[in-house]
Structure 1
Amino acid sequence: MILTTCAACAKPIEHDASSRCVACETRYCSDRCLRYHAHRGGHDDECAEIASGGGAEQHHAGKKYEEAVSDAVEECAEDTEGQTCFICMDGDAEEGLVRGCSCRGASGFVHVSCLARQAKILVEEADERDLDDNQWHRWYKCSLCEQQYHGVVRSALSWACWKTYLGRPEADWARTCAMTQLGNALHDAKHYEEALSVKEAVLSMQQRLGASEKNVLITQGNLACTYELVGRLEEALSMERDVYSGRLRLNGEEHIHTLMAANNYANGLLTLQRYAEAKALMRKTIPLARRVLGESDTLNFKMRKICATALYEDPAATRGDLREATTTLEDLERTTRRVLGGAHPLVLAIERNLDESRDALYARGLP
């Protein structure tokens, strides 16, 4: 369930909460809230509409889908004016077109509803024929240029995806994938509070159904990132620590997923100004990343950046720490510029860190 708060008072409610409207399945934290909402909160006026729309969850998904499509069409309006959908070959002014990939020319203009219909058909055909490729990528990737949709277009398509599969049994693979995809798409569109609600629901469901440790760790990693973006930093760090410990246990210290978890955990420590712990973790992990991934891997660059930042931001930094941080960032700036190009976000971030490190060094009166 995506709807995990009481419809009357917005209090968080458990998956198996028993208080709900018999007609439309709207859920409440207590019978008291149910009665209040029915008689004084306006629920009686909308109950029939919700029930006819397939129940509370389906009704909510339908409304969010319509809002997301409207937002996507509005944002893409300038690019799509006068164009036709590459799937149905119709302009259909009623829905409007979007464009959220790297297609050029007349290609890539499309109705979100056409993308959803195409994806649903392809997934069903693959499922019926028991193909290894279940075609799920069609829910988030353009069939022409193979680029993933992004921003408001991805958000709208993901609401369509969730609307399509939410009625399936809770343990159904497509329903789980749809919920996960929705959480990630909302995150991508910077709707962090909504993404958080979905991701928490995914984790709760996985834990309840006994999902594999691997899948739980993936969800926890995504959830920790969202916690950080909404300012719940201690919860983010606690979950990042759990993910790192889980990856060590499951995959060993040299696995790429363990290295990524270590990087995320160190970044969380840095955000909370726990500099000594961040430095210790990175000094332990950077040699492993170099050996496994090579000197020119982006993850290795990120780890070295975190370590250098922890060195110069620490109020207890020595002169040697400041020199080491500045030297490291100077080397990183040259290397990443050569490997990634000067416009890459990581290169720009390293340049800012280098300026700050030099300022800290000069403030100590050092050349």
Structure 2
Amino acid sequence: MILTTCAACAAPLAHTAPRCVRCHTRYCNKTCQHDHWRRGHKQMCKKIHRGGNAEQYHADKKYKEAVAVAVEACADDTKGQTCYICTQALHWKTKEGLVRGCSCRGTAGFAHVSCLAEQAKILCDEAEENNLMNTDRGCERWRRWDTCNLCKQRYHGVVKYALGWACWKTYLGRPEGDRFRIWAMGTLGQSMRMVGHVREATVVLEALLALIDRQPEKEKHTHTVLNVQNTLASLYGQQGRHEEELSLRRKNYPLLKLIEGANSQNALISANNLGLCLHQRGRHAAAREALREPLADARRTFGEDHSITLNLRETTADATSGLGGEANLRETIAIYEDLVTRSRRVLGTSHPTTQQREQCLREFRAFLTGGVAAVLAERRARGGGGGA
């Protein structure tokens, strides 16, 4: 259920909320329904019903809006090109233009969102028919909803957002516990986050977790829950809901350790997210302690130069600096000196992560030598905070 608020008063709705008999628009109660009927729903009810009822009508409308924005954003890049799927400049049915939101170069990768969606649907339906959806091949088919078939890179920005709505409108009519319907909600929520629709993404992903929790066999969707909780934690952080973010981080890491093992990339990334969250909340000692074992696991499994190891060391260094004192600051500087050397070798000197670590190292050295005022002035000039 994406329409999670009352159509009349915008109050949050339970999934069992009353709805219009004809078009399934949902309301808090009969009072809101009658009020909405008088304020214009009477004229729209038949149209919404003919459009597949409230959820489908809403999804189709949002899809068309998202496609229009994506086509306009890609207009300069797609001028004079044709769709690599249907070979036409304009889609034969929808008359929509072309997009390209992946890593393809030259004349490759131009397509209509409708063609990409139809291709993904055909492949997923075929995989479902052949009982492949629980296999790697099935997961690869599902990734076609957000991944380019040519360059194998994920779509981004407004193109991904349009495909998110395409995915949801394709599967929303399935039963509530259907796997494809659940995955489609997750795909839509992730795409909303990509374009900065933080509140909308939060609402969709919270509704998805509630939906899964209502299922009699919800353990089937454990990986989906973990992915959604990880995304929700980031969204909560962006909205200043820090305790909720921390709560989800603390749930996710032990579950990933249990399911995938302490040495898995997902578990180690989750551990780093937890440590970073604790550090940002000012719980520096707890952050460093939470990162101790994951860092050792990352070093044993991936080595000193792997990105996961480097990220865990960076978060450890930041947490150590937060403890205060000259000894901790010197330890932080020593870690960053090694991080910068490895980043230059592994990522290159022009990589943003390398440059960010070099900047942090300069700031920590300035703090040690007493150049605090210069560091704070530089941070303010960059639009950063005023604290250490």
Asked if these proteins are the same fold (TM beyond 0.5), I'd say yes
- Cα deviation 1:207-234 (Å, max 9, x = unaligned): 1114224432222112111211222222
1:290 offset after TM fit, Å?
Answer: 0.9
Give 2:201's match in structure 1, choosing from 195, 198, 202. 195
- Cα deviation 1:134-175 (Å, max 9, x = unaligned): 322221222222222111111101211110110011121111
Give 1:91's match in structure 2, choosing from 77, 89, 92. 89
Contact 2:288 2:316 in 1 (8 A): yes
Q: Secondary structure at the residue paired with 1:101? A: coil
Over 3 Å counting, the alpha-carbon distance change for 1:343 and 1:33 in structure 2 is farther
1:364 offset after TM fit, Å?
Answer: 7.9
Partners of 2:59 and 2:178 lie apart in 1 by 18
Partners of 1:353 and 1:10 lie apart in 2 by 45
Partners of 1:268 and 1:13 lie apart in 2 by 31
1:266 offset after TM fit, Å?
Answer: 0.8
Corresponding residue pairs, total: 361
Matching of residues 168-183 of structure 1 within 5 Å? 168-183=174-189
Aligned position for 2:376: none
Contact 1:103 1:144 in 2 (8 A): yes
Contact 1:207 1:216 in 2 (8 A): no
Aligned position for 2:16: 16
Partners of 1:245 and 1:130 lie apart in 2 by 31
Aligned position for 1:103: 104
1:337 lines up with 2:335 in the alignment: no
Partners of 2:188 and 2:335 lie apart in 1 by 39
Q: Which moved more, 1:69-78 or 1:116-125?
A: 116-125
Aligned position for 2:248: 239
Over 3 Å counting, the alpha-carbon distance change for 1:108 and 1:252 in structure 2 is closer
Q: Secondary structure at the residue paired with 1:98? A: coil
Contact 1:83 1:106 in 2 (8 A): yes
1:149 lines up with 2:155 in the alignment: yes
Quick one: percent identity of the two aligned structures? 48
Over 3 Å counting, the alpha-carbon distance change for 1:348 and 1:28 in structure 2 is farther
1:296 offset after TM fit, Å?
Answer: 1.2
- Cα deviation 1:91-146 (Å, max 9, x = unaligned): 11841110112222222111111111111122222333344523222212222222
Partners of 2:177 and 2:352 lie apart in 1 by 39
Q: Secondary structure at the residue paired with 2:74? A: helix
Residue identity in the other structure for 2:38:
H
Partners of 1:252 and 1:115 lie apart in 2 by 36
Partners of 1:102 and 1:251 lie apart in 2 by 30
Give TM-score, length-normalised by structure 2: 0.88
Contact 1:98 1:109 in 2 (8 A): yes
Aligned position for 2:65: 67
Aligned position for 1:307: 316
Partners of 1:179 and 1:109 lie apart in 2 by 26
Contact 1:224 1:235 in 2 (8 A): yes
Aligned position for 1:288: 297
Partners of 1:352 and 1:332 lie apart in 2 by 12
Aligned position for 2:47: 49
Contact 2:99 2:112 in 1 (8 A): yes
Aligned position for 1:79: 77
Residue identity in the other structure for 1:97:
L
Unpaired segments ≥5 residues, structure 2: 373-388
Give TM-score, length-normalised by structure 1: 0.92
